[in-house]
Amino acid sequence: MATQLETSYDLTGDLVEACSCGGPCPCWVGDDPDGGECWSFTGYHIRFGKVKGVDVSNLSLVSLVQIPGNVADGNWREIMFVDANASDEQVELLMDAFQGRLGGALADLASLIGDRVALYRVPIEYTIQDGHGVVRVSHPSGAGFAIDAEMDPYRGPDGEPTQLINSSWSTIPGNAALLGKASHNHVAVPEHDMVWSYEGRNSIQGLGFVMKG
């Protein structure tokens, strides 16, 4: 019989997300996306964690998706980008977790993907400093960026980031999401029909998320 260690993941890190919806994103409260569909990316940086006992700390991955309607209806198209610093073993294990084969919250998210279009291993720049998030994903061709985005959270009267808690939808279930706005969200993957350029649209951050399966 497989042990708990052999079949689980335990990840702690940060999330950034930006999409075509105006802010705050209606998808997070169960409504349909603005315009009837959502073009989005979600980036995860794993500060520290293990999958099946193998260390996957300090690695990033970004899911680029087309969502054709309400998020809960599924049938998403996805391109996955994994950190160029990841070994073959780490890539395989991360995909076991993020494609739902190890259960938990990530399996619930993975069940919404109807078409896994491509998987690329590329350099990923991922930083969050004082709430300012930057994500740049190199294009697989080596020419320019597939994803280039920057974002900042909304802030309350006390100067602290505005939080969304216990929403009907989340890419980091059980963790608070920080609502914000992306100053720019540029995507250029024409070979897979994913090209867009938005300014001042929705962004989400999740700092210090914990996900286990």
- pLDDT of res. 7: 55
Residue at 153 is within a domain: yes
Residue at 161 is within a domain: yes
List C-alpha distances in Å: 25 to 22, 58, 145.
6, 28, 25
> Rounded CA gap, 42 and 44, in Å?
7
Is 23 or 199 the better-scoring residue by pLDDT? Answer: 199
Is 123 or 2 the better-scoring residue by pLDDT? Answer: 123
Tell me the average pLDDT across 145-173: 91
- My answer on whether omega of the bond before 24 falls inside 30° of 0, hence cis, is yes
pTM (2 d.p.): 0.92
The amino acid at 8:
S
Residue at 24 is within a domain: yes
- pLDDT of res. 3: 44
27 and 38 Cβ atoms separated by less than 8 Å: yes
Residues 101-127: b if buried by 16+ CB within 10 A, e if exposed: ebebbbeebbebbeeebeebbbebebe
- pLDDT of res. 9: 97
Is 211 or 84 the better-scoring residue by pLDDT? Answer: 84
Check whether 77 has a pLDDT greater than 70. Answer: yes
DSSP lists the bridge partners of residue 79 as: 64, 118
> Rounded CA gap, 169 and 30, in Å?
6
The share of the chain scoring above pLDDT 70, in percent, equals 97
Tell me the average pLDDT across 163-186: 88
Residue 170 domain boundaries: 5-208
Residue at 14 is within a domain: yes
- pLDDT of res. 5: 43
Residue at 106 is within a domain: yes
The DSSP H or E segment spanning 104 is: helix 104-110
Residue at 27 is within a domain: yes
Domain with residue 129: its CATH number is 2.40.400
Residue at 105 is within a domain: yes
22 and 162 Cβ atoms separated by less than 8 Å: no
Tell me the average pLDDT across 11-24: 93
- pLDDT of res. 45: 97
Mean pLDDT for all residues in the chain: 93
Q: Number of structural domains, the chain? A: 1
- pLDDT of res. 129: 84
Residue at 213 is within a domain: no
